[in-house]
Amino acid sequence: MDTGIIKKTNIKAVIEALMQVGEVIAPVRKDDYLVFSPLSSADAACLDYANSKLSPKGCFFPQTEVLFTYEKEGHKTFEPPREAKPGFIVGIRPCDSRALALLDPIFDERQYHDVYYLEKRKSKTVIGLACNEPQSTCFCTSTGGNPSDTAGMDMLWQNLGDRYLVRPVTSRGRELMAQLPHIEEAGQDDLARAQEQGEKALSKLPPVFSADEVADKLSSSFDDSLWQKIYEKCLGCATCAFVCPTCHCFDIQDENRSGQGRRVRLWDSCQFPLFTLHTSGHNPRPCGKERVRQRVMHKFNYFKVNNGQVACVGCGRCIRECPVNMDIRQIVSAYSVK
């Protein structure tokens, strides 16, 4: 079977079957927003949603993470218990899944393998959920994605109203599909309906700019006077970085007490002045202009030069959550027409 369907009346039983195999992480409601969290009950999963407030990046790259503990006497170090539990992450949107595909090579370079990220990443089968109703702040088609993009996924589900169309993407996804309960072979009507919905969603997201053209324009814009105007609105709060599914800067801190301690990794941001402050007191990015420029240049120029793709997936979280309504689409578009 290449393509299947799961009726929504059976989705609870399917999730319960997955929970019998391993940990299931899915979008769940917390107060008035949604976050990705391990399920304690299949009823908690919320698959009828636009997108989560925070990206599921934190499932693999937590906001804080103990790397090891130590005792000064004897110079002893101890590894923390491994937290990578085999299982599934269900309902991830194509933009967030694409972000994982961008992060994978960053944490798995030729000479640098981040076992903390990689063990968690390899332990989870990724089941994505196509977007039928993109939000007004979405712009994935401007950054190389689309509402049915399968990058970073093992399996894609598509909401067809009373059922989900199920497509395996990887061999891992095909193995899972063969084991899923309550799955039936998709009919021609299901496939036609899925194609129609996919085209409809795509038509709602005309590209705002060309990522390739912007990358080229930014190469000669480092000293452009427009940065002075752009940064003046920014508060430097780094909300954009913390909700971003591709931002991956971190700090390392040692916490000591009575001869014992632990080394902790924490999310950090290039929008903070301390991020680049040297021990000498010199700071190569002393004010907001340099820091805002760094964020835009890194995402749309430096990352593309080094990795072949821009480090933005168009999820729109930075636009929705910015306290002063900065819009990355407007900033990038301003340089695309220069």
Q: Is the dihedral of CA 274, 276, 277, 283 positive or negative?
A: negative
Among candidate residues 216, 218, 50, the one with its CA nearest the CA of residue 136: 50
Query: What are the pLDDT digits (tens) for 169-213?
Result: 999 999 999 999 999 999 999 999 999 999 999 999 999 999 989
Q: Could you give the strand order of the β-sheet that contains 155-159, starting from the edge strand earlier in sequence?
A: 33-38, 23-30, 87-92, 124-129, 155-159, 163-168, 4-7, 184-185
Model confidence, pTM = 0.94
Confidence class of residue 80 from pLDDT cuts 50, 70 and 90? confident
Span 308-333, average pLDDT: 97
Which residue has 């990443």 as its token pair? 121
Helix, strand, coil content of the chain in percent (nearest 5)? 40, 20, 40
Query: What are the pLDDT digits (tens) for 31-59?
Result: 889 999 999 999 999 999 999 999 999 99
Query: Buried b / exposed e across 74-104, counting CB within 10 Å, b at 16+?
Result: eeeeeeeeeebeebbbbbbbbbbbbbbbbbe
In angstroms, the CA 206 to CA 147 distance is: 11
Confidence class of residue 333 from pLDDT cuts 50, 70 and 90? very high
Query: What are the pLDDT digits (tens) for 84-110?
Result: 789 999 999 999 999 999 999 999 998
What distance separates the 2 farthest-apart alpha carbons in the chain? 70
The confidence score (pLDDT) of residue 33 equals 92
The confidence score (pLDDT) of residue 51 equals 94
In angstroms, the CA 26 to CA 179 distance is: 19
Confidence class of residue 1 from pLDDT cuts 50, 70 and 90? confident
Q: Is the dihedral of CA 299, 300, 304, 309 positive or negative?
A: positive
Average pLDDT of the chain, as a whole number:
95
In angstroms, the CA 131 to CA 193 distance is: 14
